[in-house]
Amino acid sequence: MVTGQLVDFQWKLGVAVSSDTCRSLNHPYVTVMLKVADYSGQIISKSFEMTIPQFQNFFKQFKEMAAVMETI
């Protein structure tokens, strides 16, 4: 069963400078934006934020998946 096809993958680096509850955050984060075509062809957009270590782990796993898919 096909659950979706990755159509687009974008990411951008940002820094949270402050918030309502904290004057000085200086916290870097990565925003990931995905576009996936579902089984009917409809494009679904999803976005989420991760810390830098979370993104590094995500990227590592993504590379491992790509390597496995190349062997199929």
Residue 21's pLDDT is 67
Residue 70's pLDDT is 86
Q: What is the pTM of this model?
A: 0.68
Task: At 8, give phi and psi (nearest 5°).
Answer: -150, 145
For the chain, domain boundaries:
5-70
Fold of 5-70: Nuclear Transport Factor 2; Chain: A, (3.10.450)
DSSP, collapsed to helix, strand or coil, labels residue 20 as: coil
What average pLDDT does the segment 41-50 reach?
A: 92
**Nearest-angstrom CA–CA distance, 40 and 33:** 21
**Per-residue pLDDT tens for 49-60?**
998 899 999 989
Nearest to 28 by CA among 19, 17, 20: 17
What average pLDDT does the segment 9-35 reach?
A: 82
- Helices then strands, counting H and E runs in the chain, come out as 1, 3
**Nearest-angstrom CA–CA distance, 18 and 71:** 46
pLDDT at 2 over 60: no
